[in-house]
Structures are given as structure tokens and as C-alpha cells.
Amino acid sequence: MRDNVKVIIAKYTENIDWIDALDYDYVVYDKSNMPVANARPLVNIGREAHTYFTHILKEYDQLAAMNIFLQGDPFDHIDDRGRATVETLKNQLVDIVDRAIPFKGLAWFKLKCDRLGHPHDLRKPENEGRWSGWGRDIPVGEIFERLFSVTMPKQIIARAPTGNFCVTGDRIRTRPRDFYEFCLRMIEQDPLDENNTGHAIERLWQHIFNGNMAWNRDFYK
């Protein structure tokens, strides 16, 4: 599978000089005012979820066998000591790719949360102004139920809570194209993430890509 891998970078103003060291084909979606060369420019809305759903819809019929979705600076989230390097990431990816793991979060931690996204830090005074949705809960339960039309459990485990993960093309396509169109519309309806829709999606990546086709609805509108 290693010759059919695509790294998808959701970039804003981060320095992504590290990307070539991964030795995989990649595409950069750049939301800054000065996109880097060969990047695909996007409007700066919807956090990384907007970027990822855009890519999935653009490439749906020709997705790579393994797709590695990364933020422009994923390293703080990979190592609990805060000392992750590109080599740390590369070693982690080699194992995932070689074993063809259908879905794998890349954060060093997992997060158990309820339908309001607790625990979260969107009400901490020191974070005021950092996010448009500061002061609000994260509507994990609401978004879960809109996506799948089933009741969310009392608690779920977020296995990719930082928005950095790997997923196979086959696993992505267990959901129909109109599912991802529906996801993108939800994100676009909350462009500044004032309602924390993007934050909720961060808690739900493993459910979006869990391969449970029984959750697929007949249509999304």
C-alpha cells in the first residue's frame, strides 16, 4: 500500500517545510492570504473539517488506498512530552500504512466525552477569544444524531480528537457521497464555528469512518 498513500494537509499560516520528509505524495489546502506554491487555496472557514470534507468530495472516486489527514502543525498532538518530530510522525505512519489499518487517530491521547463535549476548555477564561465558539458547549450529541439518525450513547470515545488521523479510501467510501455533501453543508452553515460544529466533528471522526453502513441514511438534506 505504501505506493498509494496521500497526505492531506489543512494549512493556515503554519510552516510546512517538514512535509517532504514524510516521503509520501501530498496535497496542501491553504487557507492563508498567501498560499504556498502548488497549494489548493480555500476560504478560511470551518476549521480542518471543511478542508477534509472538501478533499473527500473532490477525490471521492479516486481516493488513495491510505489517506493521512493532518493539520499544518500536528506535532504538539503526537507526543505527550511535546517533543514530537517529523521522524516521530514518519515512524508512526509507516506502521499504520504497512498494516493497512482502516482508521487510526494520531493524537497521543483519546478523549471520553458526553453529548455536550465535556470535558472541554471552551469556557476557560484564559481561552476567551481563541475560538468563536468560546463560552458554548460542543454539540456532539446533536451532530451525531443529525449525521446518523440514531441516539448517541451517554458517552463516546473520541479517537482522533485533534483532527489528525489516517483512514483508508475503502473505509471512507462506506459512506455515500451525499453523506459528505451533507457534512460539508453543516460546516458551511457555521463558517466561523460559532456553534462549535467543527469542534463536534473533531470528536466524531472515528464514527464517521467506522464502517457501520447500517447508519447510512437513504438521503441527506
Per DSSP (E only), the strands in 23-169 are 25-30, 40-41, 66-71, 103-105, 111-113, 156-158, 165-168
Proportion of the chain above pLDDT 70, given as a percent: 97
**Looking at residue 83, what is its pLDDT?**
73
Integer Cα distance of 41 and 184 in angstroms = 17
* pLDDT over threshold 90, residue 221: no
**Looking at residue 79, what is its pLDDT?**
76
Encode pLDDT of 20-53 as tens digits.
Answer: 999 999 999 999 999 999 999 999 999 999 999 9
β-pair type (5-11, 40-41): unpaired
Give yes or no for a cis peptide into 74 (omega within 30° of 0).
no
Scored b (16 or more CB within 10 A) or e, 160-199 reads: bbbbbbbbbbebbebbbeebbbbbbebbeebbebebbbbb
Higher pLDDT, 79 or 148: 148
Integer Cα distance of 71 and 93 in angstroms = 15
Provide the 3-class DSSP secondary structure of residue 26: strand
pTM of the model: 0.96
Encode pLDDT of 105-128 as tens digits.
Answer: 999 899 999 999 999 999 999 999
